[in-house]
Chain A
Amino acid sequence: AQTVTQSQPEMSVQEAETVTLSCTYDTSESDYYLFWYKQPPSRQMILVIRQEAYKQQNATENRFSVNFQKAAKSFSLKISDSQLGDAAMYFCAKFEGGSEKLVFGKGTKLTVNP
């Protein structure tokens, strides 16, 4: 089965510091899409950033950026200048064109300390 692995169940960061959340995945496809979603205590799933596998340039959205290493099948999320509002569960997800399904990792709980 195609899987997405988030090896860090929990992470913590000081406010204004930088933190990196890890994600690796398994795939036999050459073209696919990768996503990071944020789930705060409100439960709402919020898109943080997306990356098309065919693009070599790493995606960036304000304080959020990714380090996409296609050969290593790695897709980490970097949060710069962490804010208290960044505290949430973060889910890495991969869209599988063959099965047409979005597969999620187990999530990383991020705590931001003031």
Chain B
Amino acid sequence: DAGVIQSPRHEVTEMGQEVTLRCKPISGHDYLFWYRQTMMRGLELLIYFNNNVPIDDSGMPEDRFSAKMPNASFSTLKIQPSEPRDSAVYFCASSSWDRITDTQYFGPGTRLTVL
């Protein structure tokens, strides 16, 4: 199994630009999670999906952030417009469908820098 795949690994953009992060979960996993990691706040859950449906987006910082999961094998996290304070590492994780308490497997992360 290839594990959780994220792209790009690094993204550098200028303030005001739109940023799209991509994630492919492990095949057969029906839960998908987006996290953000910063030095100040550590790892924070932004949003998670079950069977492609957003279940809890209470961690999404503001309306500039949006996430979609059009099918079981693909999800995007979009920031529009981006701001310097959005600079962080963004992780995608997935877990199996029958128990949300099952282990979450993380992708390699996307390091986002907003200038």
Contact = CB atoms under 8 A, between A and B. Distances in A.
Interface of A: 33, 35, 37, 42-47, 50, 91, 95, 97, 99-102, 104-107
Give the size category of B's interface with A: 10 to 19
Given A43-B109, A91-B43, A102 B56 contact: no
Interface of B: 33, 42-43, 45, 48, 55-56, 89, 91, 93, 100-101, 103-106, 108-109, 111
A1 to B, nearest CB: 12
Given A33-B101, A43-B89, A100 B56 contact: yes
Contacts of A95: 100-101
B69 to A, nearest CB: 16
Contact of B56 (A42, A46, A101): A101
Given A43-B108, A47-B103, 4 more contacts: A37-B106, A43-B109, A99-B56, A100-B48
Contacts of A44: 106, 108-109
Contacts of B48: 100
Contact of B106 (A45, A50, A101): A45
Contacts of A43: 89, 108-109, 111
A50 B103 contact: yes
A107 B41 CA distance: 11
A107 B89 CA distance: 15
Contacts of A104: 42-43
A97 B56 CA distance: 13
24 contacts: A35-B103, A37-B106, A43-B89, A43-B109, A44-B108, A44-B109, A45-B93, A45-B106, A45-B109, A47-B103, A50-B103, A91-B43, A95-B101, A97-B101, A99-B56, A100-B55, A100-B56, A100-B100, A101-B45, A102-B45, A102-B104, A104-B42, A105-B42, A106-B42
